[in-house]
Amino acid sequence: MDAETYTDLIPLIFLGVVFFIVAVSALYWSAKKGQLREFDSQAKTIFTDEEPEGEISDTFPSKKSEEV
């Protein structure tokens, strides 16, 4: 690739830089808002008294062998 054709890569390099800046900004925002702290306690927030942790409440119906 000649040095003159490197100018064709400028949009690609620009998009790469923009993507990198957005990714770093998102990581900074999530760290500042506390999203990266206490993963275990945040993972348990989806459990309620109706669906407690450790109990299987969703299952697939079993197939009946008689229907074959």
> Biggest alpha carbon distance in the chain?
74
Residue 27 lies in a domain: yes
- What's residue 27's pLDDT? 96
Give the count of domains, the chain.
Answer: 1
Residue 60 lies in a domain: no
Residue 49 lies in a domain: no
- What's residue 2's pLDDT? 65
For each of the chain's 68 residues, which pLDDT tens digit applies? 566 777 888 999 999 999 999 999 999 999 999 888 887 777 777 777 777 777 777 777 777 655 55
Residue 63 lies in a domain: no
Residue 14 lies in a domain: yes
Residue 1 lies in a domain: no
- What's residue 66's pLDDT? 54
Q: Is the pTM of this model over 0.75?
A: no
Cβ-based neighbours of 44, under 8 Å, separated by 6 or more? 53
